[in-house]
Structure 1
Amino acid sequence: MQAKRKLSVLGIFLAIGIVLFLFVGVEWTYFDYAMKNRIPKILAMLLSAFCIGSATVVFQTITNNHILTPSVLGLDALYVLVQTFIVFILGATSPLIVNKQYNFVIALGVMIVASVGLYKVLFERGKGDVMFLLLVGMIFGTLFGSLSSFMQRVIDPNEYLALQNNLFASFNNIHTPILAMATILMLLLIPFVWDDLKLLDVMTLGREQAINLGVDYDRVVKKLIVVVTILISISTALIGPITFLGLLVVNVARQLFKTYKHTYLIIASVLLGGITLLYGQLIVEQVLGFTTTLSVVVNLIGGLYFIYLLLKESKQI
């Protein structure tokens, strides 16, 4: 009951955040325009919170490490590379950059195909070794980042400025068709992986114990890795990369809910993700006056929290 009460409190905070985001600073003369602008933002935040929160919980269980996030797979760096490559080859006025629907489909398609194809090969060569997958993912992430930096230095400065709009997480230009496509794709994933999510509680015991209890461990891990990469790809293609959001909300959820049950952890992480994005964007818009972006604030707080976790882990060793 205590866990359910905590979830109820988080749900109330989230609901209050939605109401505040909808109505704070709204001039009633432009009420209809404000709602058309703010409702897609809220839906995008909730969708991103679901993708990042749930994917990070699953990923940490698979890797048996609470300070790792799916960003170590190199998806954020791949997204930046895709955007930079389009501008480098076609220019900032290309329809693949200007048209948000085209840009979303291209970025999402490249990330899903590259990550699923790459990690399928790596799993076969690494014989299902998750640590081998993480190592190669980090190497590719560094490679993608280096290629992006090289192209960004070569392109025209004006095109680089235009490119910057796509490299930072933003909720300012959420298009309804993109949001609809992302939502449909996410909903299609849920029944595909629903039965396997029930096995996560057992998988926290470790590979050998899970196998002894009848879990087809390697098959489940491969399937969940694919789902994690797709969820992170959806979120990144929709709003841009927010590296430390998953680390922040999932570890706070683990502190609040001292439980092994992933039902509570996933729901709590999603709620905390929504709360963080909603209140963070509200502060960026109403207090800071758009002088910075939400991703900068989240990554600053998340980075500091990551350092805290590292120091905490080092003391326990």
Structure 2
Amino acid sequence: MSAETTESTTSPTTSRSEQGKTTTFSNAPSKTATRGTTPTKRRTASTKRRTTPTTKRRTASALAPTGEQPRRSSGSLGTAKARWRYWSIMIGLIIASAAIALGLLAWDNPMPITDDGFWLIAQLRMKNLAVIAIVALCQAFATVAFQTVTNNRIITPSIMGFESLYVAIQTGAMYFVGVTAIVDLKGLVPFTVQLLLMVGLSLALYGWLLSGRYGNIAIMLLIGVVIGGGLGSIATFMQRTLTPSEFDVLAARLFGSVSNSDSSYLPVSIPLCLLACAAIYLMSSRLNVLALGRDTTSNLGLNHKFEMMKVLFFVSILMAVSVSMIGPMIFLGFLVAMLAYKFSDTYDHKYVLPMAALLGFVVLGGAYFVMKNLFYAEGVVSIIIEVIGGGAFLIVIMRKGRL
């Protein structure tokens, strides 16, 4: 009995000791895991200690009032880099325009600049310089405004048939009157009549197609294409009936050339150009809204149809002045507008329109200088402009309209 009692009294002790050993053995891995995680905690703490000062410095620099980081604003040119880029390009274009103007006045001038004869010759050349400036302003402002109204960066006001009407008028005068008609069409009165015909046709087209209940600018553009194609076909038919000598005289008028202009046009063209350009520039904020579309424009409180009619009226005046002065220029406006949007890097017309005007003067003046002084082509500038502008148009089309 004592032995059994001893075994019974010792067995719980043994079991407890075994359980204790087992418990001690089972706790060993946890201690090992704790030891293993201690360096990780140290590395995490050290990493936090290393990154905390840098984060604080970055936060302090971002919140510092001195502004080491570039500041942005809600304006059209939001950053200092964008503003610096825009004004740098503008200054470069101004310098290039001044250089082209000086070259046109002084190139191949036989008299020294200190002589009075130099300024007499330069005064005679001022007429061509004024014509280039007027055409550049007309094409730039008209194309940018027209693309905004139509919400299309591909088409130009030429789609409305201004060039086709000009060709039809010149060809009809040659067909019905003869060679003397080309000479008779030069002068202030024929120039004014041609302006009134172009503006009247465009206003009739706008009023008819946009004032109805279902007026649509897409239908207006299609009608303009049809009218332009019809006038071009009639002009081509009349040209085939002309004699070779008459056709040669007419072909010289159908190319866009500065030599087609006359100094008698300036008293009418300069006020019309400046008035229309000033009106479009003052409507820059409204053009920004029109670019958002019909629904957004109406929601913002503007009468979309009325504003569109105003813009198209001034566009028709500018295009009529440009075409009547030097002839057809199909791709000049497209090239200038595309470069203006690319270089200005903004959609605000307050910045796009001046850059487009300077680009138009540089492109047109540079083409005139090259054709007149290097190739002796008497200022037929449409050759270079059509080649460069047509190539740029094809590139844009191949890129699916992404400018």
User: What TM-score, normalized to structure 1?
Assistant: 0.93
Give 2:161's match in structure 1, choosing from 74, 82, 85.
74
Aligned to 2:290: 203
Aligned to 1:285: 372
SS at structure 1 position matched to 2:283: helix
Structure possessing the higher radius of gyration over alpha carbons: 2
Aligned to 1:13: 96
Aligned to 2:237: 150
SS at structure 2 position matched to 1:241: coil
Task: List aligned pairs for 1:1-317, cutoff 5 A.
Answer: 1-2=83-84, 3-28=86-111, 31-32=118-119, 34-94=121-181, 97=184, 99-125=186-212, 127-172=214-259, 174-190=261-277, 195-290=282-377, 293-313=380-400
SS at structure 2 position matched to 1:297: helix
Superimposed CA distance per residue, residues 259-300 of structure 1 (whole angstroms, 9 cap, x where no aligned partner): 011011111111000001111111111211218821011011
Superimposed CA distance per residue, residues 116-171 of structure 1 (whole angstroms, 9 cap, x where no aligned partner): 12221122347431111111001111001000000111123222222122211111
The answer to whether the Cα contact below 8 Å between 2:105 and 2:122 also exists between their aligned partners in 1 is: yes
Change (3 A) 1:74 1:173: closer
The answer to whether the Cα contact below 8 Å between 1:22 and 1:39 also exists between their aligned partners in 2 is: yes
SS at structure 2 position matched to 1:255: helix
Change (3 A) 1:37 1:173: farther
- For residue 32 of structure 1, report the CA deviation from its aligned partner: 4.7
Whole-Å separation in 2 of the counterparts to 1:304 and 1:193 = 29
Whole-Å separation in 1 of the counterparts to 2:150 and 2:353 = 16
The answer to whether the Cα contact below 8 Å between 1:126 and 1:132 also exists between their aligned partners in 2 is: no
SS at structure 1 position matched to 2:180: coil
SS at structure 1 position matched to 2:226: helix
The answer to whether the Cα contact below 8 Å between 1:53 and 1:246 also exists between their aligned partners in 2 is: yes
Change (3 A) 1:76 1:112: same
SS at structure 1 position matched to 2:258: coil
Whole-Å separation in 1 of the counterparts to 2:182 and 2:252 = 15
The code of the aligned residue for 2:240 comes to: R
SS at structure 2 position matched to 1:199: helix
The structure, 1 or 2, with the larger RCO (C-alpha pairs under 8 Å, 6+ apart) is 1
The answer to whether the Cα contact below 8 Å between 2:372 and 2:379 also exists between their aligned partners in 1 is: no
- For residue 180 of structure 1, report the CA deviation from its aligned partner: 1.9
Unmatched tracts of structure 2, length 5 or more: 1-82
Whole-Å separation in 1 of the counterparts to 2:214 and 2:124 = 48
SS at structure 2 position matched to 1:132: helix
- For residue 46 of structure 1, report the CA deviation from its aligned partner: 0.6
The code of the aligned residue for 2:259 comes to: N
The code of the aligned residue for 1:151 comes to: M
Whole-Å separation in 2 of the counterparts to 1:304 and 1:11 = 26
Whole-Å separation in 2 of the counterparts to 1:64 and 1:233 = 22
Superimposed CA distance per residue, residues 210-248 of structure 1 (whole angstroms, 9 cap, x where no aligned partner): 111111111000111111111101000011111000000
The answer to whether the Cα contact below 8 Å between 2:146 and 2:315 also exists between their aligned partners in 1 is: yes
The answer to whether the Cα contact below 8 Å between 1:87 and 1:97 also exists between their aligned partners in 2 is: no
User: What TM-score, normalized to structure 2?
Assistant: 0.74
The answer to whether the Cα contact below 8 Å between 2:174 and 2:182 also exists between their aligned partners in 1 is: no
Say how many residue pairs are matched: 315
The code of the aligned residue for 1:282 comes to: F
Unmatched tracts of structure 1, length 5 or more: none
The code of the aligned residue for 2:296 comes to: Q
The answer to whether the Cα contact below 8 Å between 1:196 and 1:220 also exists between their aligned partners in 2 is: no
Q: Which region of structure 1 is more displaced relative to structure 2, 22-31 or 223-232? A: 22-31
The code of the aligned residue for 1:41 comes to: N
Change (3 A) 1:263 1:95: same
